[in-house]
Chain A
Amino acid sequence: MDWTPFSFIVVNLARQIRAGEITFSGVNSTLPMLACLLAKRAFDFPFTYINVAGGVEPQPVEVPLSSSDPAIVHGSPAIFANQDFYDLCARGGLDLVYLGCAQIDAEGRTNVSAIGSWENPKVRLPGGGGAAVMLPTAKRVVTWRTDHTPRALVDKLDFVTASGNMTALVTPLAVFLRDPRAGSRFRLEVFNPQTTVEDIVTRTGFRFEYGAAKPALPMTDGERQALELLDTGGRFSAAFKG
């Protein structure tokens, strides 16, 4: 079965999780929330999942549409609320954090503040929500875009909201990786086999290396079954906007 933009993003976000890690998903992060819940079902290694609604290892009866809905706390044996998870990140205790972006550059810096100049913006964006603290202090940060355009994947950000340990960018077409050290740039690691590297180059605003890029491995049975269960009735995929 072919990838859809929805399944490509969710499965490839999940594939960034490593055994034993403490992962975190925040507000306005439905796709990373699904990725963490998918990984719990599809992967045979343990990891810890904390979410912004205060849930630790939640067992939601029905996965909510919003990633900050208290329904995503259901079944948690502990409440680990905002002060706790931000402080955990600040002291280096979060291994993998999913943070959104409106714009991203080749060094994994993000803009979630304004399009245009800060003083006279074309669009005022919601703001970092802790990104300026989390991006430099989390061990690894992963971001995503539901579109893959030179407007979002830019050579130069309109505003630098956060800078730091960005290690992966997932779009409907591609997975870029970079090392979490200053000056390191994204390289194309994996591409959607329904597209080409040339197409990705055309649709990306920053330059990147792609010599070692490979087509994405097909969805495993476990990933497919977990995604179908989470997306019962197309609740999430139908609402997906690329």
Chain B
Amino acid sequence: MTLVAGLRAASYGIPFQPVAGVHGSELARINGWQTLRDPYGSDNEVYVIPALSPDIAVIHAAEIDDEGNARVYGSPFWDHPLTRAAKRVLVTAEKLVPTDRLREQPELTLVPGFMVEAAAIVPRGAWPGSMHPYYDIDYPAVERYMEDRDGVLEQHLADAPEADSSR
């Protein structure tokens, strides 16, 4: 939430963003967050979070056209503030679609192409996570990845869809 306040500040083009709460949390101390008093008279003390602009945002979309217009189904989670706050936006997507398909329901386009620097078509690119509505979380793969033994990372990378060059 404070992270998103920082992203919002960057996307709004301002140096900091007020945020609710945080009072009584030691996160304020370790991060050096300051408070401001409401200048309009309520006397409320509000924490302000400095702007946070990622150099690069990488998101995974459902569909993309060759202009970079990217569609996401279901919840966008944090993709909206993240892509607006970042200096550069890269997109991976499940499949390439014609622009006319995106014109049918433009409200489903999460990032317009002019904001997207580069894109790649990566089927099952969210693995072992899920991609609504195409596939669910691969729970066994997540459990294997969490095992504490040698070779887990190598096996995980070998199992990833991107490792299969025949696709």
Contact = CB atoms under 8 A, between A and B. Distances in A.
Interface stretch (B15-23, B97-105, B117-125, B158-166): B15-23
A136 B19 contact: no
Interface stretch (A15-23, A35-43, A81-89, A225-233): A81-89
A130 interface: yes
Given A90-B19, A118-B30, A130-B1, A73 B132 contact: yes
B2 interface: yes
Contacts of B25: 128, 132, 160-163
Interface stretch (A64-72, A202-210, A214-222): A64-72
A73 B75 CA distance: 9
B21 A53 contact: no
A54 B110 CA distance: 16
A14 interface: no
B132 A135 contact: no
Interface residues of B, number: 26
B21 A136 contact: yes
Given A109-B24, A133-B1, A160-B25, A81 B76 contact: yes
A137 interface: yes
B130 interface: yes
Contact of B75 (A54, A91, A160, A162): A54
Given A73-B74, A134-B1, A83 B81 contact: yes
Contacts of B139: 65-66
Interface of B is mostly: loop
B137 A69 contact: yes
A115 interface: no
Interface of A: 53-55, 64-66, 69-71, 73, 79, 81-83, 86, 89-91, 109, 113, 118, 128, 130, 132-137, 159-164
Given A89-B20, A136-B23, 18 more contacts: A54-B77, A55-B75, A64-B136, A65-B139, A66-B137, A69-B130, A70-B132, A71-B137, A81-B76, A83-B78, A90-B19, A128-B27, A130-B1, A132-B27, A133-B1, A160-B26, A163-B23, A163-B24
